Amino acid sequence: MFNIIPQPVSVIFNTDKKGFTLHSGTTISPYPFAEDLISFARKVFNKKIIMHEDTGEERSIILKIDNAIENDEGYTIKCEDRRVYINAKTETGLFYGLQTLKQMLLQTNGKIPYTEIMDYPRFSYRGYMLDCGRYFYPVEDVKRIVDLMALHKLNVLHWHLTEDQGWRVQIKKYPLLTEKGSMRSHTNFNHKPHGGYYTQDEIKEIVAYCYAKKIKVIPEFDIPGHMVAAISCYPHLSCFGRDLEVATHWGVKHDILCAGKESSYQFVYDVLDELIELFPDKIIHIGGDEAVKMRWELCPDCQKTIKENGLRDENDLQMFFMTKVNDYLKSKGYSSVMWNYDKIENADRLDADIAWTVCGMGDDKDLVKNELKRGRKLINTNCYPYYFDFPYGWNTLKMVCEDDGALTDKDEETWGIEAQMWTEYVPNMKKLEFLTFPRLGAMAENAWAEKGYPSFTTFLHKAKDYYNLLDVYKVRYAKIKKACPSFIYKHASSLWFKRRVLHWQGLHNLFDDAKAKKEAEKYAQNSKC
């Protein structure tokens, strides 16, 4: 009867017993997050729910902590005459029970038959990555994204805050990062300046908002690549002190953080010290992707570090660099996550306690199994189908539905799933929502529901009720025909995307590499003097 997204583990109906009808004056146990259901009831049914302890007489929604429930995020729901009981081991479970109850109320117009639900998630990590480095999204936009994540029972906001195109988090020890590094002169969409950043108070505000929605926040400080915005502010962070501007276009930049200078490491430690004060969830994503080694090959400082530490090559140098950063975080009681880029040949040199967001090796089962044996945690973020910035012609709704979710045939070997929203070609919330929904609904099914949900057929069956739910929240989603495009639309959207990707950057790198080589030669001569 119910088309819940994500699908609960067990739903049982009994038509011989009376169900529950929502009325004005219905009481709900006084938990702060109960306001979430109260506002929903007022918006959808024009019913006023009162936060109050159950007296045994009123129609009540009773939330209760129950230590007998094993899973920390699991819950049970029992809807009977005059009562809805939601039990969970933690407040997080109670919150998820309320998300399910909202869908039940919407689909029955507030009149729920006698129902018993038992539910818990498939994976403990269910994330959404928001890239604010390329395009800055104001505080209220981030909060809206968090609201929609909570609706889908996602529990991790992976917040990409530093990029070649912009530095978005205030670091008091390095004020230029936001004074200069947060602004680029133009974008791929127009020739107008674009920028913005979050003050530390705004960061704290968003983190607190996430906690209220039972969502952890993992900030990403992307190193050693994707550092042009920082280098533009502090040139000494680069190899041979290059004078750069904040990047204006997407693409893989050849200028990265110098791994041969102690000042680079100190900069990283200083930034981490301030991030630790802002993000209390004990995990920081430290990037590691697309770190082109061309500058390191020319840099006397990097080459000296390779030689002094008995490293094999520049790839080893990156593993050395990331391990030092990881060791520093561990000394502060924090752990690290990295992208899996650039580490396949040298994974044996990287600490196994660094988790990976797996976006580029989903088909390399042997490597996956080897890293699992070493104890590495892996998050499924494969480009196909979980890069939601890709047009529907590349990652269709059907592809998301049919993805298994797990990286191996054993669910316990996958930490979880994370959808990615890179924003170079997503300049506003309208575009972001269109690309995210309905794909996020299918991803949430993969992350929460039992193995096998959703099939494309089951998702289509649920689509009408799912879209009704999104309409309540005024989500600007793609309709099924756009999310599963025709041949013409599929290829048209793909061509639009491909037309913009990397063309300008390739030409820029060609000329800039020649310039950098001359600068490196001059730097080497001065170093000898």
**Highest mean pLDDT out of 178-187, 367-376, 479-488:** 178-187
8 vs 189, higher pLDDT = 8
Domains of the chain: residue spans and CATH: 10-119 (3.30.379.10)
Nearest one of 304, 312, 184 to 253, comparing CA atoms: 184
Do 254 and 516 touch, CB atoms closer than 8 A? Answer: yes
Cα gap 234→251, rounded to integer Å: 21
DSSP letter for 438, please: T
- 471, 513 Cβ separation under 8 angstroms: no
The model's pLDDT over 487-523, given as tens digits with 9 standing for 90+, comes to: 777 777 777 776 655 556 667 788 889 999 988 888 8
Cβ atoms within 10 A of the Cβ of 385, count? 22
Supply the pLDDT for residue 341. Answer: 66
State CA 382 to chain mean position distance: 13
- Using DSSP's 3-state secondary structure scheme, residue 351 falls into coil
User: What is the spatial distance between Cα 410 and Cα 329, in angstroms, rounded to a whole number?
Assistant: 30
pLDDT bin (cut points 50, 70, 90) of residue 345 is: low
pLDDT in tens, 128-152: 999 999 999 999 999 999 999 999 9
pLDDT for residue 501: 53
Spatial contact of 477 and 467, defined as CB atoms under 8 Å apart = yes
Show the tokens assigned to 140.
């209220």
Share of the chain above pLDDT 70, in %: 95
d(CA 226, CA 166): 10
* Whether the predicted pLDDT of 359 surpasses 90: no
For the whole model, what pTM was predicted? 0.96
- Of the candidates 429, 428, 358, 418, which has an alpha carbon nearest to the alpha carbon of residue 388? 418
Q: What is the pLDDT at residue 207?
A: 98
